[in-house]
Chain A
Amino acid sequence: MTTLLQQIANGIALGATIGLIALGYTMVYGIIQLINFAHGEVFMVGAFGGLATYRWLLPEGIRGDWYLSLPLMLLGGVVVAVTVALLMERFAYRPLRNAPRLAPLITALGVSIVLQEAIRLWFPDADAAQPFPKAFLDAQIKIGPISLRATQLLLIAVSIVLSVLLQTYVNRSKMGRAMRATAQDPDTARLMGINPNRVIVLTFAIGAALAGVAGVLYGIDITNVDNAIGFQNGIFAFTAAVLGGIGSLRGAVIGAFVIGLIKTLGGQYMPGGTQYDYVWIFVVLILVLVFRPQGLFGEAERVRA
């Protein structure tokens, strides 16, 4: 029983990370129907941005004080992630906006490889996993029978707060309404005076900012990062977005928690153990796509292909 509860807690912590990434996938897909395959790499780049901030920008004096260094690292990670995302939107995706559907997907694949390789080649020593600074309380917190790292609790809290904020922003603000309008019908939205390019850029930026935050927090939690974390977590996040119903913000977050639970519980209880935990996620992905492609919360007509 303790194991079960503990694994559920771990799953929720993993789900929190995945959820932050999945929001970016689902928003971009909702607006321009692009599977931004490189979004996972934005998460990875964000983590390295935070690491770089800590290594080269933070003065020695404040490195020990997490309440100073953590916000600065988050800021660094977000800035890097957003910059990369905007560059790729401008130079890789925008020219292909009216191209056949396969073209942007293949481009996204290429961008993903480029980002992974760029980090491996040009981030100092990044050809091996890099230790990530412990920029938060280094403690285990006991809640009844289960114990979680303080960093895992931080991830869960940040993830929930940010998704609620995002949901509110999209539902209440003027720009949020513009986003929803563009997602529903870009042409009509344009007639209503909405600049679709601005909406798209903003969407990419918000998604990247969330991924950047996730990257830094993930690094702090796992305590080391390499250039492969983006691909794996990106696929998990994509699965979560599909599971929740791609285009739906609420769905992405809930899907992410489900995926987190599948991974930890599958690793614990399914045959093959943790070696195959990855496989169960893909099995779920295939089953969802085949039997309910609109996902748990998606609307059927949203699924265009």
Chain B
Amino acid sequence: MNMVSSVQTAKKLSGSLVPSPAAAKPLAVVGGVLAIVAALLPWVTFRFNDGPYPELATLQFFDAPLQVTGFRLHLLLFGVAAVAVALVPKVPGRGRVLRALGWGVFAVSLVTTVFIVGLGGGLGAATAADGASAFGGIVGVLAGLLLVLSAAATGVGEVPRWSTDVPKPVAWLALLLAFACVLYLVSLTLTAGGLGGASNPYAGPVFLAFLGMAGGLLGALNGVGLVKWISVLSERHRGFSIVVLLLCALALPLTEAGTDYWMTVATTIGVYAATAIGLNVVVGLAGLLDLGYVAFMGVGAFVGANLSGAAAAKLGITLPFPVAALVAAVIAGIIGAIVGSPTLRVRGDYLAIVTLAFGEIFTRSAQNDIGGLTGGPNAIPGIPAVSIGGTAFNQPLEVGGLELPGGVLYYFMIVLVVGAVMAIFANLKNSRIGRAWIAIREDEDAARAMGIKTGRAKILAFLTGATLAGLAGAIFAHKLGTASYDSFKFLESVTLLAAVILGGMGTIPGAVLGAALLFVLPEKLREFSDYRLLIFGLALVFIMRFRPQGLVPDRVRRAELAGETAEGKSIQQVEEALVAEQESVDHAPERDAKGDRS
């Protein structure tokens, strides 16, 4: 530190924070060592094990030194990795890897320290008090910053490209391993920190610190070019990838996350992910801002509930679930087309307001039990669980000695639904109508001039989105056993919109990731449930300000919204790279997906 500090001060004075390239290696080594040291230092000055909550709380042995579990293990591994990356010659994408590791260390340390200070009794807990000192958190934060600085000094270049001309078995093995790791990571993420709540106040910090670690890890893997490599391979062996991915998703109940609780959470995420993909068609592809989207989910839920034979349903019609869900989807779709019809005359923000108005009319009508169909404030309770051949979907399942948790069948169902929806979306996006939607989003007048029937295309976007939402709504009602207007209010629409925007408009993984984050985080951060909406609002503002293209940016969108990529490359560079990449994909020896592009 000392040897660079004078250089750094001079640099700071001249208005730049980036140290000289010569300082990169020492900075990285010091940062890495500090991360290791931080992992081994005590993090609090006293045990939190006496007295009532929140004193009665432990954060994975965080007062004992030399304990390497949980976040300490992550810090230790990151520190070792940073030192190794700094010292080993010719690491591909060194700057990127260091940067990712640095932010990971920083996030893990900061989250943990903030929680110790916030919940654990002041700054003394993380510095020195009661005759003990505990500087783990501070050292960790410092280590993270040093690593980020060293990355800046190294310079962040292109993501390295690995040769993708590998024999089929190697590619398949790599994909298999990669997806298995993804499954493991998902299961770890879901269970990280355990259930939130009064008995486990540190679920939030453990989970957030884990997210920081996961983010750093993925960033580092992306930095060396592994993620890119895998994604090119999976694009090339598309059929195989889809099968493996589906199997991995279906295998989730076999992992640590295989409990009733996590199955319910995962199913809920799936429902909202399917809905978010539907919204993505409307907002992300066609560029029509819909502020009343959740109403379609509500329509699906109420139609599904009324046809399910629930005692409280007035119609008294009992249909088997698949038929009820289908009817719900169709009716929601028809209503979607009706709501979308003003799009023929109204554009832009005006359309947003029209959809908001429709959404409010739906909520108000449902709240007042319109036509006796929605149960009003009493909701429609007692919707029977879906069952096939006498097996109710909410019961645990035993298949040949294998015990599966309750609700696992709902989970399987929603995985298949989300999978199907993703496949439909992917094909739609590259189809004639999908390209028409994108053209409308970019410039409606130009699209019309090119011969696109814009009115029909826009209504079709609404119809598609609403149908998906209706289907998701019907599943949602059956899973929950009740349908209440309360679940389909304006704020839910905003949440879904936030999911789509956070994930990245117009991309499938974006919508799924956004929905997962926005519905797992509240589950984990019960401690902060009061602040949930506030954080949502701030998130919307900050995303629009700093990363309008979302976490997983759409290619076209990325160039359009940011003017340049997150990495600071100009649009032209990106386009050149895209062309090169497209050529490499197009010239691939075997390509399963040829039929998918019409």
A residues touching B (Cβ–Cβ < 8 Å)?
35, 92, 95-96, 99-107, 109-114, 116-118, 121, 235, 238, 242, 272, 275-276, 278-279, 282-283, 285-286, 289-291, 293, 303, 305
Contacts and interface: CB of A to CB of B under 8 A. Distances in A.
B588 interface: no
25 contacts: A92-B545, A96-B545, A101-B349, A102-B283, A102-B289, A106-B497, A106-B540, A107-B545, A109-B494, A110-B538, A110-B539, A113-B533, A113-B540, A114-B534, A114-B538, A117-B531, A235-B356, A235-B360, A276-B368, A279-B364, A282-B358, A282-B361, A285-B354, A291-B345, A293-B350
Interface string B525-557: 000001101101111110011001000000000
Contact of B537 (A117, A235, A275, A293): A117
A117 B352 CA distance: 23
A252 to B, nearest CB: 15
B12 interface: no
B374 to A, nearest CB: 13
B540 A110 contact: yes
Interface residues of B, number: 42
Given A289-B350, A305-B347, A305-B350, A278 B360 contact: yes
Given A279-B365, A282-B357, A110 B347 contact: no
A112 B536 CA distance: 11
A199 to B, nearest CB: 21
A286 B530 contact: no
Given A100-B560, A279-B365, A113 B534 contact: yes
A111 B542 CA distance: 10
B348 interface: yes
B144 interface: no
B196 interface: no
Contact of B501 (A104, A106, A290): A106
A289 B364 contact: no
Nearest to B360: A282
Contacts of A96: 544-545
A158 B391 CA distance: 68
Contacts of B217: none
Given A100-B561, A103-B548, A113 B537 contact: yes
B545 A289 contact: no
A105 B533 contact: no
A92 B541 contact: yes
Contacts of A106: 289, 497, 501, 540, 544
Given A96-B544, A107-B540, A285-B353, A276 B364 contact: yes
A48 to B, nearest CB: 16
Interface string B489-509: 001001001000100000000
Contacts of A99: 544, 548, 561
Given A105-B349, A106-B497, A290-B354, A95 B360 contact: no
A272 B531 CA distance: 36
Interface in B304-359: 342, 345-354, 356-358
A305 B289 CA distance: 12
A114 B541 contact: yes
Contacts of A110: 536-541, 544
A32 B478 CA distance: 46
A281 B497 CA distance: 25
Contact of B349 (A235, A285, A305): A305
Contacts of B347: 305
A103 B342 contact: no
B405 interface: no
B446 to A, nearest CB: 15
A223 to B, nearest CB: 25
A35 B106 CA distance: 39
A105 B545 contact: no
A118 B536 CA distance: 12
A305 B533 contact: no
Given A238-B353, A276-B368, A282-B361, A305 B348 contact: yes
Interface of B: 283, 287, 289, 291, 342, 345-354, 356-358, 360-361, 364-365, 368, 491, 494, 497, 501, 530-531, 533-534, 536-541, 544-545, 548, 560-561
Given A99-B548, A109-B494, A282-B360, A289 B541 contact: no
Contacts of B545: 92, 95-96, 107
Contacts of B346: 289-290, 293, 305
Contacts of A116: 533, 537
Contacts of A279: 360-361, 364-365
Contacts of A276: 364-365, 368
B352 A105 contact: yes
B249 to A, nearest CB: 31
Contacts of A117: 531, 533-534, 537
B293 to A, nearest CB: 13
B440 to A, nearest CB: 13
Contacts of A121: 530-531, 534
Given A114-B541, A276-B365, 16 more contacts: A92-B545, A99-B561, A101-B348, A101-B349, A105-B352, A106-B497, A106-B544, A109-B497, A110-B538, A111-B541, A235-B360, A285-B357, A286-B342, A289-B350, A290-B354, A293-B345
Contacts of B287: 102
Contacts of A35: 349, 352-353
Given A113-B534, A117-B534, A289 B539 contact: no
Given A293-B345, A305-B350, A278 B541 contact: no
Contacts of A305: 346-351
A275 B368 contact: yes
Nearest to B505: A102
Contacts of B365: 276, 279
A78 B346 CA distance: 35
A148 to B, nearest CB: 28
B512 to A, nearest CB: 20
A35 B351 CA distance: 12
B368 A111 contact: no
Contacts of A278: 360, 364
B353 A242 contact: yes
Contacts of B364: 275-276, 278-279
Nearest to A114: B537
Contact of B536 (A113, A238, A272, A286): A113
Contacts of A114: 534, 537-538, 541
A80 B181 CA distance: 53
Contacts of A118: 534
A272 B368 CA distance: 9
A109 B540 contact: yes
B434 to A, nearest CB: 19
A305 B360 CA distance: 23
Q: Give the interface centre of A96, A105, A113, A275 by most chain B CB atoms within 10 Å.
A: A113
A15 B143 CA distance: 60
Nearest to B343: A290
A82 B531 CA distance: 25
